[in-house]
Amino acid sequence: EADIYQTPRYLVIGTGKKITLECSQTMGHDKMYWYQQDPGMELHLIHYSYGVNSTEKGDLSSESTVSRIRTEHFPLTLESARPSHTSQYLCASSLYTEAFFGQGTRLTVV
């Protein structure tokens, strides 16, 4: 069973608030990813990291930022949440080619 965890699972927050979505994995994977998924749509890569102190933006432009200070931890931050940020955010990690996914965070900005 994959050991990758996301918190919170669900979050409803007001416009303008700063939020951090947590993602942790205990598998020692170097590569970690954040995906955004709107209802009924495909997943889009918004950030990825190949290791500590390495972060890159993905295919889909996002106002969020990420950090990778520790191998096991890859938090995503929105400095000022807006209704357009309402979506599902999925975190994943991989060692070689197989990917493991977290349960996702469903974010609603009101």
Residue 97 binds another protein (CB under 8 A)? yes
Coil vs helix vs strand at 91: strand
- Least Cα distance to 81 among 26, 17, 25 occurs for 17
Residue 31 binds another protein (CB under 8 A)? yes
**CB proximity list for 97: less than 8 A, separation 6 or greater:** none
Residue 70 binds another protein (CB under 8 A)? no
Give me the least distance between CB of 15 and another protein, in Å please. Answer: 23
State which of residues 7, 65, 86, 88 lies at the interface with another protein (CB under 8 A). 88
Name the one range near another protein by CB under 8 A: 12-20, 60-68, 70-78, 91-99: 91-99
Total residue length of the chain = 110
Residue 45 binds another protein (CB under 8 A)? yes
Coil vs helix vs strand at 61: coil
Residue 75 binds another protein (CB under 8 A)? no
For another protein, give the closer residue by CB, 16 or 43: 43
**Which ranges constitute the DSSP H helices of the chain?**
none
CB burial of residue 104 (10 Å; 0-12, 13-18, 19+)? middle
Residue 41 binds another protein (CB under 8 A)? yes
| Residue type present at position 84 | S
Residue 103 binds another protein (CB under 8 A)? yes
